[in-house]
Amino acid sequence: MILRNARVVCLTTGRAGAPTDLEVVDGVLVAPGAGTGGPVVDLAGRFVLPGLWDQHVHLGQWAIHRHRWQVPPTRSADETAALVAQEVAGLPGGEVFVGVGYMDANWPEPPTAAALDRHVPEVPVVLVSADMHSVWLNTAGLRHLGVGPATGSGIEDGTGSRIVGRLVEQDAFDVELAISQVPTATLDEWVTDAAREAATLGLVGITDVECARGDLDWTRRMHAGFDLLRVRASIWSQHLDDAIADGFRTGRRLSPLLECGPLKVIVDGSLGSRTAWLDDPYQGTDSRGVLSVPAAELTRLLAMASEHGIEVALHAIGDAAVHLTLDTMQATGAMGRVEHACLVRPGDVERMARLRVGASMQPAHLGLSPAARTASLGARAARVQPLREFADAGVELFLGSDAPVVPLSPWAAVAEAVTAEHPSQRLTLSEALLASTNGVHTLQPGSPADLMVLDENPFDVDVNRLAGFTSALTLVAGATTHPSRG
């Protein structure tokens, strides 16, 4: 393939070169004239950049969520329950109704089974929170899934009583797994549809942190012909022993577009569900959140991963969780990234740089209910996602979405990173893009032909337009993934 009249943009300087020709041979860019020709695409002076990566996505869950009812923004549990009642009207009896995306941090009352029962007493209902760390069920839903009142809670509400109908952390994850049983062929079709849509945004690769044997799931998909993305597939701790026995190690290539990724471990909860493990309690409560894995078990997992050449991706949102994570990585020699790292002690920012621990961040989360974040954290809310502090300290940044928490959109992550509510935490556009291209600064002979073609140079437009950017042409390993091949 020859891309004629292409203007290559350097992400370090933001400058576009003069129109030139790019040739692709065997999925790699070569010097003009060095190839053997092939189809010619005249870009007419459009801008060519390295393709984008989403470094933290649950692609299977995102594919499923795209087929579910999206809970609109609401002001109370009662308002939400009333909307559910409208949606379930006419549904066949016994079918579970699932909705996704509710945010209850600012509601005047907690989401309880009784609140849903007043509007939907018979149809089983399961609502999944925006951050996926809590679920809300009515009594029929609890009964349908075999969840008794004693376990229909999971976290105290600050007064010592339990909230029946609201489940958090592992209890919530168990429910989410139960309602996400989709036939393999259907799920793979939905994943392909989601990847095809992502290609319209210039996405060329993902780190998939789905709770599964990602290496096996993606091997199946690649063998069946999936070729829309490069995939770095993770595993979770419950699969670690089997994966090691199968030869899993970070960086091992399983097919041309697939490689083994990190070990994913959830150390604490989330800010939206008020379960992230903090140094100091949430506003108005004595709760510091949830430590999801005991320190001794975390040490065992990281030591095993380090011994077998597996990097780690450690979900740690609260400052107490990040501190424990870094202690454990330092003690075991484990290498990798902290996922989310929303609240971090200033000294731990510097320690991440010293230990060469990366920060995998999801800037679009900052757009989720900032008022609720302030209500939960007070003055600490100004330091949530300290992007600028990480960049200044020399911590390597990796941007992603955490879809389905927010939609899979690398441009939304870039846009939020450069327009963050607190100017002191903003990245430059160059920094945000470099954190979104898997370490590629520019395209040159020898680069993989993973690229996007834009009608405008993003460095020349108002940053408030970045979230709406799309790609005119996307290539992965030299093959066109957008426009659709049919």
pLDDT bracket for residue 484 (50, 70, 90): confident
Biggest alpha carbon–alpha carbon distance for the chain: 73
What is the reported pLDDT for 204? 98
pLDDT above 70 for 246: yes
76-105 confidence digits (pLDDT tens): 999 999 999 999 997 776 689 999 999 988
pTM: 0.93
Range in 120-134, 154-168, 188-202, 417-431 the model is least confident about: 154-168
Task: Round to whole Å and give the CA distance between 287 and 276.
Answer: 10
Which amino acid is located at 130 in the chain? A
Q: Residue 152 burial by CB count (10 A; 0-12/13-18/19+): exposed, middle or buried? A: buried
Residue closest to 410 by CA, chosen among 400, 420, 396, 421? 400
What is the reported pLDDT for 422? 83
Measured CA angle at 199 (ends 415, 250), to 5 deg: 85
φ/ψ bin of 127: left (φ > 0), alpha (ψ from -120 to 50), beta (otherwise): beta
Question: Are 187 and 470 in contact, with CB atoms under 8 Å apart?
Answer: no
**Secondary structure element (H or E) that encloses residue 340, with its range:** strand 336-340
What is the reported pLDDT for 91? 79
158-212 confidence digits (pLDDT tens): 333 457 899 999 999 999 999 999 999 999 999 999 999 999 999 999 999 998 8
What is the reported pLDDT for 165? 92
Between 421 and 334, where is the model more confident?
334
pLDDT above 90 for 369: no
What is the reported pLDDT for 485? 63
Task: Round to whole Å and give the CA distance between 459 and 101.
Answer: 33
Task: Round to whole Å and give the CA distance between 156 and 164.
Answer: 10
201-223 confidence digits (pLDDT tens): 999 999 999 988 999 999 999 99
Q: Please report the DSSP string for 227-292 in residue order.
A: -SSEEEEEEEGGGHHHHHHTT--TT-EEETTEEEEEEEEE-B--TTTT-S--SSPPTTSS----B-
pLDDT bracket for residue 149 (50, 70, 90): low
Sequence-distant (≥ 6) Cβ neighbours of residue 481 within 8 angstroms: 195, 196, 199, 204, 227, 228, 229, 474, 475
DSSP state of 10: P
pLDDT above 60 for 452: yes
* Percent of the chain clearing pLDDT 90 (strictly above): 84
pLDDT above 80 for 59: yes
What is the reported pLDDT for 162? 59
Mean pLDDT of the chain: 93
DSSP state of 55: E
Sequence-distant (≥ 6) Cβ neighbours of residue 433 within 8 angstroms: 11, 49, 414, 458
